Amino acid sequence: MLDIKYIRENKEAVIENLKKKFQEHKVSSLEKLIALDIEYRETLKKANQLRNQRNILTEEVAKRKHNGQDASDVLAEVKALPEKIKEMDVVLKTQKEEIDTLLNQIPNLISKETPIGKDDKENVVTEEYGKIRDFDFEIKGHAEIAEKLNIVDFDSSRDNSGKGFYYLLGDLALLNNALIRYAQDILAKKGYTYVLPPLMINKKACDGVIDFTFFKDMVYKIENEDLYMIGTSEHPLISMFMDKTIPEEKLPLKLYSYTSCFRKEIGAHGIEERGLFRLHQFDKIEQVVICKADESEKIFEELKNNSIEIFKGLGLPIRILEICSGDLGDMKYRQIDLEAHSPRRNGFIELGSCSNLTEAQAIGLNIKGKTKQGEKYYVHTLNNTAIPTQRTLVAIIENFQTKEGNIKVPEVLVPYMYGKTEIKKNENFF
């Protein structure tokens, strides 16, 4: 969300931003928000006046009693004030909830680097790396190759879990682990701190990091508990600092985590009938950075380049998409997607994204930095998918398939595969 102080002072800039995001219909919500903010501050002023009056009158009662004077008239006034203050607090609570609801409808400002466009058809390819391979044999999809090699089992997972789950077997499970270790080595050498977070968070944390009204149909809720399975480790990493103030000399905080993630994936995309691309349960390494405002654009480039380094190292043909204004999430200032070429689809598939949310999450979670002089301010937060292992397996299987139906192991992963250079049929499993 945007800071209400910024909205008060920059109404026209906020309206212009709504136009850039093709959300002119929210101007009425903005007007209502500004009017309600005025009412709230007036109510708060009156409530504070009543509290101040109560303190003054309480002192007067004590003074009169000390001097042996009658204080009954003042005491009657004092006794009437708590009920008035209580009523005022109820009004304040209602107004604050309405303000927060409206604030969540107003999108973050967008970067000057963000192209103006209505939807994903207007996202812009800005960088391309690697050469798309020419095949001299019939290209197969990743699921067909993996099943023939007996290194994945979709049928058993469907029987005991349903669609959107899988068993990785033998060398494919090892290749999954190799990707994790490979990416971890790169990030650890760059000074990022490894964090193993909770796999469940509560609604307060959810509300601070995402537009929960949109995201609630995608996450799994624990029955009879205020807990949700994480859809990405970004959420517990950011909310780890909820209601905390971080000394400026500790910024930037650079973190990464490896976790399983869980999503219902309800919507237009749905779940793949067979395959590893769109799943209910998947693994990824996520990066999160908390920093000062003047550092975030530079760190965005750093995070993006980390991903490019990881995937170029794997030898995959990749490209970077700059996400346009209409396709950009409301909390985001800027986003790029990293895509890999899928020979079977003869197109590109999304592997991950890098986002700068500026103050949006920090405001929602009350995360602040503090200067040595004691001045506090909202920090900026960024996140980046360093590597989503199952989707990367899809890209590797398809791009490194051989005429014989085997899979070449990317050179950088050979040390993590105990020297194995090619994945062949798994004969150790029925």
Is the pLDDT at 287 greater than 90? The verdict is yes
In the structure encoding, which two tokens stand for residue 47, read together?
């409530």
Domain holding 334: CATH number?
3.30.930.10
pLDDT for residue 296 is more than 50: yes
**Residue 272 banded pLDDT, cuts 50, 70, 90:** low
pLDDT score, position 214: 63
> Is the same domain home to 77 and 176?
no
**Which one of 62, 78, 103 terminates a domain?**
103
User: Residue 429: inside a domain, yes or no?
Assistant: no
Provide, for the chain, the percentages of residues in helix, strand and coil under a 3-state DSSP scheme, each rounded to the nearest 5: 45, 20, 35
Band the pLDDT of 267: cuts 50, 70, 90: very low
pLDDT at residue 268 is higher than 50: no
pLDDT tens digits for range 368-394: 999 999 999 999 999 999 999 999 999
Whose tokens are 């900026």? That residue is 380
Q: What residues contact 45, with CB distance under 8 A and at least 6 apart?
A: none
Q: 87 φ, ψ to 5°?
A: -65, -40
d(CA 134, CA 334): 34
Confidence of residue 130 (pLDDT cuts 50, 70, 90): very high
Distances (CA, A) of 78 to 48, 89, 124: 15, 17, 66
| pLDDT, tens digit, 9 for 90 and up, residues 188-215 | 999 999 999 999 999 999 888 887 666 6
Q: What is the predicted pLDDT for the residue at 327?
A: 96
- Establish if 114 belongs to a structural domain: no
C-beta of residue 143 within 8 angstroms of C-beta of residue 275: yes
How many domains, the chain? 2
Residue 110 lies in a domain: no
One domain for residues 11 and 152:
no
Q: Is the pLDDT of residue 270 over 60?
A: no
Looking at residue 10, its pLDDT comes to 96
Mean predicted lDDT score pLDDT of the chain: 93
Share of the chain above pLDDT 70, in %: 97
% residues pLDDT > 90 (the chain): 80
Clarify whether residues 156 and 295 are in a common domain. yes
pLDDT of residue 414: 98
Q: Return d(Cα 94, Cα 108) in angstroms, integer.
A: 24
- Per-residue confidence band for 269, with pLDDT thresholds at 50, 70 and 90: low
Is pLDDT of 216 > 80? no
Q: What are phi and psi of 291, to 5 degrees?
A: -150, 175
User: From residue 212, how far is each of 32, 205, 308 by CA, in Å?
Assistant: 21, 10, 30
- Answer whether 167's CB lies under 8 Å from 157's CB: yes
pLDDT value for 273: 62
pLDDT attached to residue 81: 84
Residues 6+ apart with CB under 8 A from 416: 177, 178, 181, 182
Same domain, 97 and 241: no
Q: Tell me: the pLDDT tens digits for 339-374? A: 999 999 999 999 999 999 999 999 999 999 999 999
* Same-domain status, 136 and 75: no
Question: In residues, how long is the chain?
Answer: 430
Regarding whether 207 and 61 lie in a shared domain, the answer is no
Asked if the structure places residue 430 within a domain, the reply is no
398 phi, psi to nearest 5 deg: -75, -40
Q: Does residue 133 share a domain with residue 64?
A: no
Q: Which domain holds residue 290?
A: 120-423
Over residues 83-107, mean pLDDT: 92
- Residue 320 inside a domain? The answer is yes
CB contact burial 230-254 (16+ within 10 A = b; e otherwise): bbbbbbbbbbbbbeeebebeebbbb
What's the pLDDT at 212? 65
Mean pLDDT across the stretch 217-233? 91
Q: Would you tell me how many other CB atoms lie within 10 Å of the CB of residue 268?
A: 4
**What are the strands, taking DSSP E only, across 271-402?**
281-291, 318-322, 334-342, 347-356, 368-370, 376-378, 380-388
The predicted pLDDT at position 75 comes to: 74
| pLDDT of the residue at 160 | 94
Flag whether pLDDT at 30 surpasses 80: yes
Higher pLDDT, 75 or 177: 177
**Separation of alpha carbons 291 and 369, rounded Å:** 8
Phi, psi of 374 (to 5 degrees): 95, 0
Residue 112 lies in a domain: no
